[in-house]
Amino acid sequence: MRIGVFDSGMGGLTVLKSLIDKYPNNYYIYFGDTLNMPYGNKSVKELEQLSSNIIAFLLNKKVDIIVIACGTISSNCLDYLKKKFDIPIYDILSPTIEFLKEVKLDNTAVIATTNTIKSGIFNNLTDYQIECPLFVPLIEEGKINSIEMENAIEGYLKGKKIDNLILGCTHYPLLEKNLTNYLGKINYINMGKVLANKIVLDDEYYFLELNFSKINANIYRLCARLFNDYEIKEVK
């Protein structure tokens, strides 16, 4: 099966890794729109155009399904994209929303981009909804372990009693160690892992193709850390 996965940048690679871990024998084609990130502060019209262009690119690659590994696109454009394209489309948020409705968790927070929080998709499901607009740019700039990241984490989470934290943007699993250093040992809900446990894929053979609209050294480092074999390209 040929599986197309896309995100605004590197964050969707965490989802891709979860899918490959669960279903290792598929042809995965990834697109990270690093040239136009971050998506969290763009208008819905801009998001619709960007995501439509990416899906068109993936369709040209003859994918069988599309996985939206971006919380912002999932919360703002899913219905639009499903109506526009005649291909199965899976989003990153719906499995986690279903999970939260099935379980009872105390002291639960979701951290996500501004657009995802403002979409209201997590309303009445958590105790806290926290916009974290600085996280994605800092991650993409390779500043995961920087003072700026430490200050951002403290600024967003100070004073919150959190036992369960939903990583509502696919970039955020890359910050789990940083978050644990600040919050202590808590339960993290990784949307990529939730999706991988919900979706059913037909294993055939393995190949991984990674495409980005702009490549930098941080991307190479992260890809090398997450994956063994892959083909990487810059696509404008």
Active site residues: 70, 169
Q: For residues 103 and 120, is the Cβ–Cβ distance under 8 A?
A: no
Distance separating alpha carbons of residues 52 and 84, to the nearest angstrom: 8
| Cα–Cα separations (whole angstroms), residue 17 to 25, 85, 130, 230 | 12, 25, 25, 12
Distance CA 86, CA 82 (A): 7
Return the number of other C-beta atoms located less than 10 Å from residue 21's C-beta: 11
Contact between residue 82 and residue 57 where contact means Cβ atoms under 8 Å apart? no
Q: Terminus-to-terminus CA distance in the chain, angstroms? A: 25
